[in-house]
Structure 1
């Protein structure tokens, strides 16, 4: 990249505030103690079936798991016991979120980045990457495709760490997406929820994002293991500052953004350690703010253009990957869980009963949605260009296919964004999640948003299957008077009819 070094340095000097690290330390120490975590894993290697069952029984109370119990679960290797953890994970997911599955799409806005992360295709010294930052008009074109041709209602917008994609750019890009409203077959398409996956920011910059209407703020630690963190994030780079990144979500809370998301890049360090790090992160957020992370993401390392992965020593097998998702599901039971199209369809299908969100019809290239759906074209060939995207996807199924296959499994696909606009965030949503009541709202809103998708975008076969599922779901709701009042059932049926008649964005 041909960047002005002075401009870059001035921007860096503005960004990192040492006092916005120090305020969160406990007697000068952060909440990740590598030696203590490793010792706890080592001390809980012998795990009896009785103890596992006791831990799982307690997990159904929907509270954050203790580090000791999490350490016991990560050590389970017996296939029969692991199956019991899977079963508990599916039960907890159903209790908290019912049978809904939320879909979203990533929108990559810029591939310029000042960092040199060893595993990332966007790193500044990767000369094989074609770099670009979208203009606001280009972002609107991407949103028009996503909302008007594919059918998405929710995005996660992704940015490299670079002065051209600073907080004001992020805020402007969010506003650009929210401004798009596109006619569809029977109604209109619009992005109603924009989540942000971006680099750590100071509190004053985070307030800019809050005012612009941010949904969830995602900052993944990548790895909690400090030695590994130093090895993959070169010293002297912005991302090389472990503590600045570690407390990014704390600063978010103090800026008024109370929906935050944690995650690690599995494959960098031992997966058992990373699971413990995620639990510790949730615990510190709960300790300070009374609420944990809104969601947890579990990406695995994937190939990237111009990037050597021969140094990787902690690749996670499919069996361990599926199991670690189950452990995290029961350890942080109130959180949403996201598995993305980094994974192959077979893996996604195998964990779908434990998770709450997945992407579909995704493109990672900068400007790739408009390129894939030119003019009046409503389908794409799923082409990927590795030199313009951060990594390679393994699942290129269309949104229509994902909706249809999910229906076959008994999941109701949800495009709902209602909770955020009704104020069900932060402390409010945590109480609802732990009692299972948020799942009741989610079920009703999933029905309404799925009806929108079926009427505006679905293929004839998917629409037929979806209408049948909605009728089944309505019958189930009527048979659950303890969860859904008669008045709610009446209003839900009325709202569905209004959507079928062309109204949009109705919710509870």
Structure 2
């Protein structure tokens, strides 16, 4: 079912990214969040330009190519501020490293605000409804702009009207009955398809974990079994959409759920403010975090693990840069054509990683996997094209794609 469908549409690959928290000032009081305005123990930080550059360099030096920037809801984080931080990220180059796609997770804006952010050439703009159930929503969003259910629900309509055709939706599982949330997510997808002829680029389904001063009704927390089930249901219901599974989950749960349709995960994640440049082993400082991370593996450990499990780790950003987004992405991905682009593009970004960042053992395993995957491409002419590009990368060229 879900496993077969995912492979049919996407091929056997997993796209990787990392979150970078730009600022944790927040004017909202959300019962489930460590960064809520009333939490006095949290250390409030907003990265300045120099600090952003430092964090991005540290990320690039591990091999990251795709980031999601995260902002609290606060007047300081205006559309102009967000656009400027995106531009800063794109300019950072460390060795062969560069960030090729910057996605955004930030507060809802008006149409003008979304237009400002679009000009910075963002990737996907994410706004999660958290819970689609109006009563449950009211219970956990106590004060602040986020209390307005409708303003949040219609945020991505305004993004579409501003010309952002890559949007990401999500629900925070554990606030209300998971079945209601799944149906609501699918209904939200139907709305986008009907009105804008394009579904969301991604769906996220974070599950409530421990957060500093967590104060919610625990009766809707989702079991591992139901969590696996809801991912499979989302994959079957929305075949073309990227499904994002985050490092809130343990490595064991991530391994299990990857099979059922997940297409994107974060790797080498650190959600502490300024976290990518500090080195204090595994210890997390919950007073600097929005919630607890349960998968603390480095990017290379995750890459190596994926390779051993025969997934192709991918940093591909080709669709976005070739205009295969929004309605055009739908044309390509609904019939499964994406596979023809995705597998070779994933291989090319993996070659870059193996050449620039991988330890010898990972490199060896990676090239072995590439040979296995090349053998699965039936078109001999196409295989030759891919091999030529691999050679070019080995000779020093970068950023090649189909």
Is the pair's TM-score, using the shorter chain for normalization, greater than 0.5?
yes
Structure-2 residue corresponding to 1:220: 128
Taking structure 1 as the reference length, the TM-score comes to 0.78
Q: Deviations over 1:207-242 (max 9, x none)?
A: 11111011001000000000000000125x200000
Q: Deviations over 1:343-395 (max 9, x none)?
A: 011100001122100001101011111223xxxxxxx7233211011001000
Alignment pair present for 1:267 and 2:161: no
State which of 23, 46, 70 in structure 2 corresponds to 1:110: 23
Q: 1-side partners of 2:69 and 2:347: how far apart?
A: 26
Contact kept, 8 Å, 1:158 with 1:197, in 2: the verdict is yes
Identify unmatched segments of 5+ residues in structure 1: 1-87, 373-379
CA deviation after TM superposition for structure 1 residue 408, in Å: 1.4
Pick the structure with greater CA Rg: 1
Q: 2-side partners of 1:405 and 1:173: how far apart?
A: 32
Secondary structure of the residue that 1:313 maps to in structure 2?
helix
State which of 33, 46, 55 in structure 2 corresponds to 1:142: 55
CA deviation after TM superposition for structure 1 residue 398, in Å: 1.0
CA deviation after TM superposition for structure 1 residue 334, in Å: 1.1
CA deviation after TM superposition for structure 1 residue 410, in Å: 1.2
Structure-2 residue corresponding to 1:334: 240
List aligned pairs for 1:115-130, cutoff 5 A.
115-130=28-43
Contact kept, 8 Å, 1:112 with 1:161, in 2: the verdict is yes
Q: Deviations over 1:395-437 (max 9, x none)?
A: 0011111111111111000011111000000111111111111
Contact kept, 8 Å, 1:115 with 1:239, in 2: the verdict is yes
Secondary structure of the residue that 1:106 maps to in structure 2?
strand
CA deviation after TM superposition for structure 1 residue 342, in Å: 0.3
State which of 74, 78, 81 in structure 2 corresponds to 1:162: 74
List aligned pairs for 1:51-450, cutoff 5 A.
88-148=1-61, 150-183=62-95, 188-235=96-143, 237-309=144-216, 311-353=217-259, 354-372=261-279, 381-450=281-350
Q: 1-side partners of 2:65 and 2:219: how far apart?
A: 39
Alignment pair present for 1:500 and 2:399: no
Contact kept, 8 Å, 1:120 with 1:307, in 2: the verdict is yes
Coordinate RMSD, CA, aligned: 1.0
CA deviation after TM superposition for structure 1 residue 308, in Å: 3.0
CA deviation after TM superposition for structure 1 residue 118, in Å: 0.6
Secondary structure of the residue that 2:218 maps to in structure 1?
coil
Q: 2-side partners of 1:365 and 1:164: how far apart?
A: 19
Contact kept, 8 Å, 1:106 with 1:158, in 2: the verdict is yes
List aligned pairs for 1:20-59, cutoff 5 A.
none
Q: 2-side partners of 1:383 and 1:490: how far apart?
A: 47
Q: 2-side partners of 1:279 and 1:344: how far apart?
A: 26
Contact kept, 8 Å, 1:129 with 1:306, in 2: the verdict is no
Secondary structure of the residue that 1:108 maps to in structure 2?
strand
